[in-house]
Amino acid sequence: MSDPNAPMYYKGIYHIFYQYNPKGAVWGNIVWAHAVSKDLISWKILKKPAIFPSKSFDKYGTWSGSGTIGPDNKPIIFYTGVIDTKQTQVQAYAVPKDLSDPYLSTWVRPERGNPIAMVSDDLGVNKTAYRDPSTAWLGRDGQWRMLVGSRWNKKGFAVLYRSKDFKKWVQAKRFFHFNSKLGMFECPDFYPVSISHKNGLDNSVTNQPVKYVFKVSLDLERYDYYTLGSYNLRKDIYVPDKSSIEGFKALRYDYGNFYASKSFFDPSKNRRIVWGWANESDSSADDVSKGWSGIYAIPRKVWLDMPSGKQLMQWPVEELETLRGRKVEMSYQHVNKGEHIEIKGVTAAQADVEVKFSFSSLEKADKFDPKWDKWDAEGLCKHLGINNHGGIGPFGLLTLASSKLEEFTPVFFRIFKTHGNKHKVLMCSDARSSSLRQGDELYKPAFGGFVNVDMINNEISLRSLIDNSMIESFGAGGRTCIVSRVYPTLAVKRNAHLYVFNYGSEPLIIKSLNAWSMKAAKPMM
């Protein structure tokens, strides 16, 4: 499985569709698989694909797309169809066959009206790079709008379409947004976020003060980037804030193994939820051997960081807490330089850990070397690593660790001084020591992101969800998130251990720590 498609909530049921190969653990033979849930945790996988190649407008591929609760409160799917062996791409739609079916298990793709959009001769678009229609939204003028990602050479852009009746779609004369250096805009997502509260908003909201999020999955680097900005209703274009960097140094949902994300508005709890795909880090041969490939990160609630308004916050959906089992607590425990304290009493291979770290002083923080500006956070994590000890850090968690630390995946912070007595915080999830496996194309990166957090109280928090080969970490309440896929050989199941560690010269204080053993999610009955 790969890209999440068309997540939606309809009449008490959550739906997630996904790119899926029913014939193998590698990419190919893609259909739209379909799963349903009442709580985002326990899922039922429906036997029949929702969409599969069979029509004249999708005979050679049914690729990614989005869902919209459209006119008359009826769900509709927009997706990319491939019409020939040259991979010419068009946009098509599908609707449920029976709205009284609570699972919407059968979808139809009418011949009439399909495809809804094709590359026009004057668009200047590569016909094989024209895909991933977005969720639609209703404008103040009564017209619906949606985006399609595309590119021409290195220029990436989002093409805007409008419709008065949700059937006939007309291409706008100007691009909704573009960048001349970023390459293909895959899986574009565009939605409003409130500037006054954490609740999510429907894509079509027009009566509240908001910022807008424009997210693209950039095929050149395989990461998801977003900017915050405004929506010019008169020109129908998106304009990033001047403070919102665009490009390969832009903000990310996640600084690890997380791609092709989709968001949706959940009206049952007034929240916006984002899904992301975490691909494998081992070889295709390994995937074939184990018989499966690709998983999704835990769904996350997303909202605007306030009052700064300069980035998004993310946090695992609250329903995940229903899987919590035995709990272990610590408070006000000191960890000196070089010490490890084991968190005993939890299933370390499957755990949820929330910890708040504090320091008596940050005076020992190392100065941030100007030469490090040539690296991004990931490069700096790789350069410094866990063994380059400093004044404040590295400190954090050793996850999926073997008893003698032959294997471990550290999730940690380092704190530096910058000009004006301010601090710069680096967060890393370093897989280089995660496995003893050698020589089999195992990808073991040192992921990293900077954390925009005020260290005025000398405190910072970390939450890590650990699930056998998956580590999802949320720094400073969800300001920086990192997913890592790792494959230990020793630290497996009951042989896995979990530690708090401090490699900085300043003593660390575990102000509070709560860790839970996590039960396996059961399929929905």
The residues facing 460 across adjacent strands are 357
pLDDT level of residue 420 (50, 70, 90 thresholds): confident
pLDDT of residue 120: 78
Q: Note the pLDDT tens digit of each residue in 69-106.
A: 999 999 999 999 999 999 999 999 999 999 999 999 99
Are the beta carbons of 327 and 515 closer than 8 angstroms?
yes
Exposed, middle or buried, 387 (CB in 10 Å: 0-12/13-18/19+)? Answer: exposed
CB atoms near residue 285 (< 10 Å): 12
Q: Which amino acid is at 171?
A: Q
pLDDT of residue 439: 67
The residues facing 484 across adjacent strands are 471
Task: Kindly list the catalytic residues.
Answer: 3
pLDDT of residue 31: 98
In words, the CATH class of domain 323-518 is mainly beta
Query: Does the structure show a pLDDT above 90 at 261?
Result: yes
pLDDT of residue 207: 86
Q: Note the pLDDT tens digit of each residue in 426-465.
A: 999 999 999 998 766 789 999 999 999 999 899 999 999 9
Report, as an integer, the average pLDDT of 285-303.
Answer: 95
CB atoms near residue 46 (< 10 Å): 17
Counting residues of the chain whose pLDDT is more than 90, the rounded percentage is 90
Q: Which amino acid is at 200?
A: G
Query: Does the structure show a pLDDT above 90 at 373?
Result: no
Question: 223: Cβ–Cβ under 8 A, 6 or more apart, which residues?
Answer: 217, 252, 255, 258, 259
pLDDT level of residue 47 (50, 70, 90 thresholds): very high
Q: Note the pLDDT tens digit of each residue in 146-156.
A: 999 999 888 99
CA 393, 397, 403, 408 torsion: positive or negative? negative
What are the residue boundaries of the structural domains of the chain, listed by start? 4-316, 323-518
Are the beta carbons of 266 and 200 closer than 8 angstroms?
yes
Query: Does the structure show a pLDDT above 80 at 341?
Result: yes
Superfamily of chain region 4-316 = Glycosyl hydrolase domain; family 43 (2.115.10.20)
- What's the CA gap between 325 and 382, in Å, rounded? 35
The residues facing 215 across adjacent strands are 189, 226
Report, as an integer, the average pLDDT of 323-340.
Answer: 97
Query: Does the structure show a pLDDT above 80 at 500?
Result: yes
Are the beta carbons of 17 and 273 closer than 8 angstroms?
no
- Work out the end-to-end distance of the chain between its first and last CA atoms, rounded to an integer number of angstroms: 22
Q: Compute the mean pLDDT over every residue in the chain, rounded to the nearest whole number.
A: 95
Q: Note the pLDDT tens digit of each residue in 112-141.
A: 999 999 987 766 678 999 999 999 999 999
Domains 4-316 and 323-518 share a fold: no
| Listed range (24-38, 200-214, 386-400, 428-442) with the worst mean pLDDT | 428-442
